[in-house]
């Protein structure tokens, strides 16, 4: 056993002194301008998933080794894990070299260190904490996470002796045929005592098929030292799957999504068609919500109890409150209030806030607008930069003309206003409480409370125009027939100027 009492995190998991993520590799097989660890699945980058899995270990120091695409990776880290320390591995000489560079950057670190590959996006908190717990329990110098897999192709094999003790990790390309038959593999996740790791890493060599420095060789060196070394099997072999090309990325994304949907269903969410429903790990959905087929929930989206989303709907960073429904729509940064309805075919953009019972209907785009309680924008409208009161109705094909080519301006619509169909509301403009606008108006001036705003030319009918100017057409024939019917019935008909 280690001499000191192991410390624990607030959550009771054993703590580590440092987390080191190896993320400098090129990821050639992704064939991408984006560094491999920045490819995203389930709402986070691969690197983000690894960091999230390690977060509860409460490490005072988190080091991320960067190299290939380092500017991009560093910028991403600044955003998702500003406390992490990026350490540059100038030349990618192998995972062991990356670990050397990392530990050299934090010479003060002692005690247990978690070393993890940056391309293990399915790693879970429980798996990592179990590994650390086993390491501490066994009093090991080094403990490696392993898994039994059906197809170990390309992975490092765990070699055990007759007594079952782990003696080495052998890469596939350096393995004997007998070793290749081993199905227990190295997950690329290790906990080691900092001093033991430093000692082992100082002695690794590039004496292998790739001519690289392998972190995995540390294990055999420590075994030769007589230090206590162990392997801990992952409960779920999925957790340890790496991600080296786009096919594996798609497969990992599927697995991650299945896990999220599984959890939601256990918690009481109806997922009508798990095959076509995609939910980020960062999303929350309450019980008795219904996700119809083709639903994509992303980012910080939350869906409250009894709400129905879908079919064929994408919500990014949206809040859908209890009992609301969003059907066949695309929404970004919007708040859909309780019992409000959206869609089909609505486009809600950032800053849209629908109060309780509000309605946004077909072919309506809304941006940076508050729609008051029970107010409706049912059809074919653009609503930008507006405040709409309670109980108002915005007629079909209304446009909130918010942009003068240089600046954006706001429109204010009072309570219980009736905006006639095809109204242009030229902002900045205010329509007072209880006011109406006439259909087809171009409203450039404020409409006082209770007034009817009319802003359109009067209609004039030019009688007989079709007969004179479009003779012989079906329209002229129809008009002539109507005239003779009118004459027969003694009605003067339409053939008069008005």
Long-range CB contacts (< 8 A, 24+ apart) of 304-311? 304/338, 307/336, 310/272, 310/277
Distance CA 46, CA 37 (A): 5
Q: Please pick, from the candidates 14, 43, 48, 118, the single residue that binds ligand UD1 as defined by CB under 6 A.
A: 118
Write the interaction track for ligand UD1 spanning residues 53-72; mark x where CB under 6 A is met and - where it is not. Answer: ------------x-x-----
The answer to whether 188 contacts ligand UD1 (rule: CB under 6 A) is: yes
The answer to whether 119 contacts ligand UD1 (rule: CB under 6 A) is: yes
Q: Please pick, from the candidates 45, 100, 140, 216, the single residue that binds ligand UD1 as defined by CB under 6 A.
A: 216
Q: Please pick, from the candidates 61, 129, 143, 186, the single residue that binds ligand UD1 as defined by CB under 6 A.
A: 186
* Shortest Cβ 153–Ca ion spacing (Å): 13
Distance CA 343, CA 326 (A): 6
* Shortest Cβ 233–ligand UD1 spacing (Å): 14
**8 A C-beta contact, residue 18 and residue 106:** yes
* CB closer to ligand UD1 out of 19 and 136: 19
**8 A C-beta contact, residue 49 and residue 42:** yes
Give the residue from 157, 152, 112, 161 showing the smallest Cα distance to 132.
112
The answer to whether 291 contacts ligand UD1 (rule: CB under 6 A) is: no
* CB closer to ligand UD1 out of 73 and 331: 73
Sites for ligand UD1 among residues 24-43 (CB under 6 A): 24-25
Binding residues for Ca ion, total number by CB under 5 A: 2
The stretch among 93-101, 129-137, 333-341, 346-354 that binds ligand UD1 (CB under 6 A) is: 93-101
* CB closer to ligand UD1 out of 171 and 239: 171
The answer to whether 95 contacts ligand UD1 (rule: CB under 6 A) is: yes
* CB closer to Ca ion out of 196 and 240: 240
Distance CA 400, CA 58 (A): 51
**8 A C-beta contact, residue 57 and residue 129:** yes
* CB closer to Ca ion out of 120 and 396: 120
* Shortest Cβ 186–ligand UD1 spacing (Å): 4
- How far apart, in Å, are the Cα atoms of 252 and each of 83, 190, 360, 373? 27, 21, 37, 43
* CB closer to ligand UD1 out of 23 and 424: 23
* Shortest Cβ 169–Ca ion spacing (Å): 14
93: partner contacted, choices Ca ion, ligand UD1, none (Cβ within 5-8 A by kind) = ligand UD1
* CB closer to ligand UD1 out of 67 and 333: 67
The answer to whether 97 contacts ligand UD1 (rule: CB under 6 A) is: yes
- How far apart, in Å, are the Cα atoms of 481 and each of 474, 487, 491, 493? 10, 10, 13, 11
The answer to whether 86 contacts ligand UD1 (rule: CB under 6 A) is: no
The answer to whether 96 contacts Ca ion (rule: CB under 5 A) is: no
Neighbouring-strand partners of residue 303: 285, 320
The answer to whether 252 contacts ligand UD1 (rule: CB under 6 A) is: no
- Residue 49 annotated in active site: no
The answer to whether 242 contacts Ca ion (rule: CB under 5 A) is: yes
The stretch among 192-200, 208-216, 225-233, 427-435 that binds ligand UD1 (CB under 6 A) is: 208-216
* Shortest Cβ 341–ligand UD1 spacing (Å): 47
Write the interaction track for ligand UD1 spanning residues 150-179; mark x where CB under 6 A is met and - where it is not. Answer: -----xx------------x-x--------
Distance CA 157, CA 147 (A): 10
The answer to whether 337 contacts ligand UD1 (rule: CB under 6 A) is: no
* Shortest Cβ 101–Ca ion spacing (Å): 18
- How far apart, in Å, are the Cα atoms of 411 and each of 369, 384, 418? 9, 8, 14
Structure tokens given for 286:
């309450």
Neighbouring-strand partners of residue 67: 69
The answer to whether 214 contacts ligand UD1 (rule: CB under 6 A) is: yes
Distance CA 74, CA 84 (A): 10
Neighbouring-strand partners of residue 211: none
Of 49, 379, 416, 496, the active-site residue reads 379
Residues at the site binding ligand UD1, with contacts judged by CB under 6 A: 22-25, 65, 67, 89, 92-95, 97-98, 117-119, 155-156, 169, 171, 185-188, 214-216, 242
* Catalytic positions, written as ranges: 379
Residues at the site binding Ca ion, with contacts judged by CB under 5 A: 119, 242
């Amino acid at each position: 056993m280690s001499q000191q009492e192991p410390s624990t995190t607030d959550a009771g998991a054993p703590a580590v002194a440092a987390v080191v993520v190896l993320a400098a590799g090129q990821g050639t097989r992704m064939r991408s301008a984006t560094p491999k660890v920045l490819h995203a699945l389930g709402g986070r980058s691969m690197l983000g998933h690894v960091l999230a899995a390690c977060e509860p270990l409460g490490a005072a120091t988190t080091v991320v080794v960067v190299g290939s695409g380092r500017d991009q990776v560093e910028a991403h880290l600044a955003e998702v894990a500003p406390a992490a320390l990026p350490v540059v591995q100038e030349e990618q000489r192998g995972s062991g070299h990356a670990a050397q560079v990392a530990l050299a950057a934090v010479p003060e670190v002692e005690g247990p260190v978690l070393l993890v590959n940056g391309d293990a996006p399915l790693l879970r908190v429980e798996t990592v904490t179990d590994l650390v717990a086993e390491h501490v329990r066994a009093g090991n110098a080094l403990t490696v996470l392993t898994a039994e897999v059906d197809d170990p192709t390309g992975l490092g094999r765990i070699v055990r002796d007759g007594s079952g003790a782990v003696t080495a990790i052998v890469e596939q390309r350096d393995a004997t045929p007998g070793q290749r038959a081993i199905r227990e593999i190295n997950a690329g996740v290790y906990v080691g005592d900092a001093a033991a790791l430093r000692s082992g890493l100082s002695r690794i060599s590039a004496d292998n098929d790739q001519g690289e420095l392998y972190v995995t060789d540390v294990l055999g060196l420590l075994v030769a030292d007589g230090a206590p070394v162990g392997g801990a099997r992952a409960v779920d072999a999925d957790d340890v799957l790496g991600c080296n090309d786009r096919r594996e990325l798609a497969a990992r994304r599927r697995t991650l999504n299945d896990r999220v949907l599984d959890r939601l269903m256990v918690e009481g969410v109806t997922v009508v068609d798990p095959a076509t429903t995609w939910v980020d790990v960062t999303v929350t959905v309450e019980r008795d919500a219904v996700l119809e087929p083709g639903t994509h929930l992303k980012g910080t989206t939350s869906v409250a109890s009894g709400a129905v989303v879908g079919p064929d709907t994408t919500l990014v960073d949206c809040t859908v409150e209890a009992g609301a429904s969003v059907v066949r729509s695309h929404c970004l940064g919007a708040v859909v209030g309780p019992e409000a309805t959206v869609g089909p075919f609505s486009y809600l953009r950032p800053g849209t806030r629908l109060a309780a019972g509000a309605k946004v209907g077909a072919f309506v785009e809304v941006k940076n607008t508050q729609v008051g309680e029970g107010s409706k924008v049912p059809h074919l409208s653009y609503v930008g930069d507006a405040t709409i009161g309670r109980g108002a109705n915005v007629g079909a094909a209304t446009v909130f003309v918010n942009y003068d080519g240089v600046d954006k301006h706001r429109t204010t619509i009072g309570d219980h206003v009736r905006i006639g169909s095809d109204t242009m509301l030229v902002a900045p403009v205010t329509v007072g409480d209880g006011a109406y606008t006439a259909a087809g108006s171009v409203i450039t001036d404020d409409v006082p409370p209770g007034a009817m705003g009319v802003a359109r030319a009067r209609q004039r009918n030019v009688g007989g125009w079709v007969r004179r100017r479009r003779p012989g057409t079906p329209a002229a024939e129809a008009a002539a027939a109507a005239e003779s019917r009118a004459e027969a019935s003694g009605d003067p008909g339409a053939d008069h100027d008005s």
